[in-house]
Amino acid sequence: RSRQLLSLCDLPAETLDRVRMPLLANIGFAADGPGARAMGAEGVGLYRTEYSFLLGETLPVEEALLQEYREVLTSFAPLPVTLRTLDVGGDKVLPYLPLREDNPFLGCRGIRFSLDQPEIFLIQLRAMLQANAGLGNLRILVPMIATVGELDEALGLLARAERELVAEGLAAQRPQVAVMVEVPAAVFLVGAMADRVDAFSIGTNDLTQYILAVDRNNIQVSTPYDSLHPAVLDAVRNVVSAAHRHAKPVNVCGELAGDPAGALLLLGLGVDSLSMSPALLGEVKRVIRCCKQADARRLAEAGLAMADGFAISRHVHAELDRIK
Ligand code: PEP
Ligand code: MG
């Protein structure tokens, strides 16, 4: 079976009715790039930049970040590489910048942290813009956006980083920008944000946690934590329809994208690309190549009318058994 999956690497992720579904990788280290590419990734949909911040004992310097980002962009060029800006806070606390909060997952996380500490954010943005110079395959992804004002502030700092680099005579290239939809408020703001950015990426891990008010890391509530919950799938449907109304593509980079049942539903919901851990690429590609998008759409429509995630899961697994 694993040989079969490996031989799939060079085949396109395309349904029987010829709909292409680009499959991208989620990685967190530049060294993971070549392996992910060898496993058939058509780019990086989510590069978690926080790992290099979490590993060190001090804040990384701009030059080190530039080298890291340049390495991963180079290993995929001309394929797109999506670098997510720092997503610390929640359960990922920088050892050298401790935060004390009663509810860290509702606290200074993701973009809130970056806007709170603009000097750190600017170092990261400067490294990203310089890494993109002459390559042009960078996409910047902004996590935990909950208001249009946060997005505007982040875009303002990006423009400032670019101005500063130009003034210093350093090579920099403007990237595409995407917003993560992982806070419920963002689901309702896609239309308002669409003209400001190039794309959206749904983070189903946090979106599930926040829509259902269930801690994603608490095993005591692992049963109610369910990304197949109809409310989560309905949120995905709403994001896709609002983004497509503005001709902006939607990627999904949460764990749901790497789950065969989830991938089939997301195909049916009209998502444009899926990003997952490289080890899951082969199995998801196999599923995509065995089905028709038209059938997946009917499957998703039927699923959305069901009362809970268990029923949806049973329904989708019956279809997976049929097509495999
Ligand atoms: C998500 O929330 O779905 C996501 C992809 O980001 P992370 O898992 O890093 O929070
Ligand atoms: Mg997240």
Q: Return the pLDDT at 99.
A: 85
What percentage of the chain reaches a pLDDT higher than 70? Answer: 98
User: Hey, what are 178's tokens?
Assistant: 């995407």
For residues 317 and 261, is the Cβ–Cβ distance under 8 A? yes
C-alpha 238 – ligand 1 centre gap (Å) = 19
Q: Return the pLDDT at 3.
A: 62
How high does pLDDT run on average in the chain? Answer: 96
Q: Which residues contact 3 (CB under 8 A, 6 or more apart)?
A: none
Q: Is the confidence at residue 237, as pLDDT, over 70?
A: yes
Q: Which residues contact 312 (CB under 8 A, 6 or more apart)?
A: 228, 230, 233, 265, 303, 306
Whole-number Å distance between alpha carbons of 50 and 28: 8
C-alpha 182 – ligand 2 centre gap (Å) = 6
Q: Return the pLDDT at 8.
A: 82
Instruction: Report which of residues 249 and 5 the model is more confident about.
Output: 249
Q: Is the confidence at residue 49, as pLDDT, over 70?
A: yes
98-154 pLDDT per residue, tens:
889 999 999 999 999 999 999 999 999 999 999 999 999 999 999 999 999 999 999
Q: Return the pLDDT at 235.
A: 98
Whole-number Å distance between alpha carbons of 324 and 5: 13
Q: Return the pLDDT at 98.
A: 83
Nearest CA to ligand 1 atom 8: 205
SS3 201: strand
User: Hey, what are 75's tokens?
Assistant: 């290993």
Q: Return the pLDDT at 324.
A: 76
Q: Which residues contact 192 (CB under 8 A, 6 or more apart)?
A: 148
262-278 pLDDT per residue, tens:
999 999 999 999 999 99
Q: Is the confidence at residue 217, as pLDDT, over 80?
A: yes
286-306 pLDDT per residue, tens:
999 999 999 999 999 999 999
Whole-number Å distance between alpha carbons of 66 and 71: 8
Whole-number Å distance between alpha carbons of 307 and 229: 9
Averaged pLDDT, 198-221: 97
C-alpha 4 – ligand 2 centre gap (Å) = 32
C-alpha 207 – ligand 2 centre gap (Å) = 8
Whole-number Å distance between alpha carbons of 90 and 151: 20
288 — phi, psi (to 5°)? -60, -40
Ligand 1 mutation target, pool 24, 50, 141, 180, most atoms within 8 A of CB: 180
User: Hey, what are 71's tokens?
Assistant: 């390495």
Q: Is the CB of 203 under 6 A from ligand 1?
A: yes
Q: Is the confidence at residue 82, as pLDDT, over 80?
A: yes
User: Hey, what are 239's tokens?
Assistant: 């994001």
Helix residue spans in the chain (DSSP H): 2-7, 33-38, 50-55, 62-76, 111-116, 118-131, 148-167, 184-193, 204-212, 230-245, 260-268, 281-289, 293-304, 309-323
Q: Is the confidence at residue 318, as pLDDT, over 90?
A: yes
In degrees, to the nearest 5, what angle opens at C-alpha 208 toward C-alphas 92 and 204?
Answer: 75
Q: Is the confidence at residue 4, as pLDDT, over 80?
A: no
Q: Which residues contact 255 (CB under 8 A, 6 or more apart)?
A: 204, 205, 227, 262, 276
Ligand 1 mutation target, pool 205, 217, 255, most atoms within 8 A of CB: 205
Averaged pLDDT, 15-20: 98
Nearest CA to ligand 1 atom 10: 206
> Nearest to residue 234, comparing CAs of 146, 300, 297?
300
User: Hey, what are 131's tokens?
Assistant: 């890494």
Confidence of residue 1 (pLDDT cuts 50, 70, 90): low
250 — phi, psi (to 5°)? -125, 125
Q: Is the confidence at residue 9, as pLDDT, over 90?
A: no
Q: Is the confidence at residue 171, as pLDDT, over 80?
A: yes
Q: What is the amino acid identity at position 21?
A: M
Whole-number Å distance between alpha carbons of 136 and 184: 32
Whole-number Å distance between alpha carbons of 324 and 313: 16
Whole-number Å distance between alpha carbons of 48 and 82: 9
Q: How far is CA 119 from the centre of its chain?
A: 24
147-164 pLDDT per residue, tens:
999 999 999 999 999 999
What percentage of the chain reaches a pLDDT higher than 90? Answer: 94
SS3 19: coil
Q: Is the confidence at residue 200, as pLDDT, over 90?
A: yes
Q: Is 216 exposed, middle or buried (0-12, 13-18, 19+ CB in 10 A)?
A: buried
